[in-house]
Amino acid sequence: MLNWLRNLFSEPEQKPAKPAHAPQANSAPQAPAAPAAPLPPYAPSREVLAAAQQRSASAVFLERSEVNAAFTSWLFEANQNTDTFTNPVEQEILDALDKIVKSNQSGATLVRRMPGVIPQLLQSLRTENFSGTQLAKKLSHDVVLVGAVIRIANSSFFSPGQTITSIEHAVLVIGQAGLRQLITSVAFQPIIDLNSGHFTKLIAGQLWEQSERAAVASRMLAGVHKVDPFEAFLAGLIQNVGLLASLRVIDQMADENQAIGSETFCNALINYGRLLSCSIGREWHFPEAVTKAIEDQGQTGKNAVISPMGKVLAAGSHVSKLHLLSRHEKLPDPNHYIKNLSATETESLDFLNSLKEGEI
């Protein structure tokens, strides 16, 4: 389904004119190279340094686990299920998801397809000398895209100075690189059907909001691990597609009067959602680096081997959750987590915080 995405962005990445660029990997001062001479007597031993590094890694893992738990709790808080273990209905849902994961189904049948106009638009953007007039004409066939493009063009991110009302003017303001990101993001919004059931209405909007912000943060962090910025953006955007598909299963098997959201259920649901995201991504022919990054999010422990893209996605997802939880006052002490971010993570968080409602 997305072969055109892989081919579309094979050319060198264009940098946005505004702060949505990936930070330089050397934004923080680099320590000078260690001298060849033996370490001075007061220097800590390698064993001490290794122990300190392990403690640091353990602290990071603990903090991110706490943020993940807070985010999941926020998603299901309307149901207020504080149980630890699954109830019979939750177990039936997990059994159904298990069958989907183990069957030949990828879960893609649970996801709505994107509009046919999207591939045409992205193909037009691939040419260096694209026509703004022709592009605006194609955009006008999709009312959702028209609204999104004009809204973004009038946002503080572009600071137009005057209200933009025409699609032609909006196309010129946003530019080619900005339109690529915007249209790709809008392309995946149809996977959410807010009319499908109670739990989709309850959770899908917040989940998609986190996906969009994780995509932006991951793109900004791509330079740290020298990965493709667009692929990092794509990984953030589709990481939750399997979880969104799982919501349809929950809606088919439970209603708003049933307690859904126990700790054990949520942990298992996230795992199944991740497996489905990878399966759907492969069926849609996403780049292997993208599906591998999503798969890597399930790896824990000191022996976990995580790809560079997986590290970028983990950081981008963490930053996006911190942003949303802080904005909705769902963390008791957000500064405790924010102060331990790296310089580039802090920069991406500041950028997310600077955005107004609907600017992504």
Contacts of 152 (CB under 8 A, 6+ apart): 158, 170, 174, 178, 182, 359
- Give the pLDDT of residue 284: 74
Q: Residues 245, 280: contact at Cβ < 8 Å?
A: yes
Instruction: Tell me the H-state helices in the chain.
Output: 3-8, 46-76, 88-102, 117-126, 132-139, 143-153, 167-188, 198-221, 229-238, 241-253, 263-283, 288-296, 308-327, 334-338, 343-354
Distance CA 28, CA 113 (A): 42
Residue with tokens 């995201």: 277
- Give the pLDDT of residue 38: 42
**Domain residue ranges of the chain, discontinuous segments joined by +:** 64-112+193-360, 113-191
* Confidence tier at 295 by pLDDT (50, 70, 90): very high
Angle between helices 288-296 and 229-238 (to 10 degrees): 50
Q: What is the pLDDT of residues 174-216, one digit of tens each?
A: 776 677 667 767 666 656 666 678 888 889 889 989 999 999 9
Report the pLDDT averaged over residues 17-39.
43
Give the residue, 35 or 119, on which the prediction is more confident.
119
Closest CA to 211 of 316, 130, 108: 316
Give the residue, 347 or 229, on which the prediction is more confident.
347
- Give the pLDDT of residue 24: 45
- Give the pLDDT of residue 290: 92
pTM of the model: 0.70
Q: Which CATH architecture has domain 64-112+193-360?
A: Orthogonal Bundle (1.10)
When mean pLDDT is compared across 84-93, 186-195, 254-263, the lowest value belongs to 186-195
Look at residue 313 and tell me whether its pLDDT is greater than 60: yes
Q: What is the pLDDT of residues 52-80, one digit of tens each?
A: 445 456 667 788 889 998 999 898 886 66
Distance CA 216, CA 214 (A): 5
- Give the pLDDT of residue 274: 94
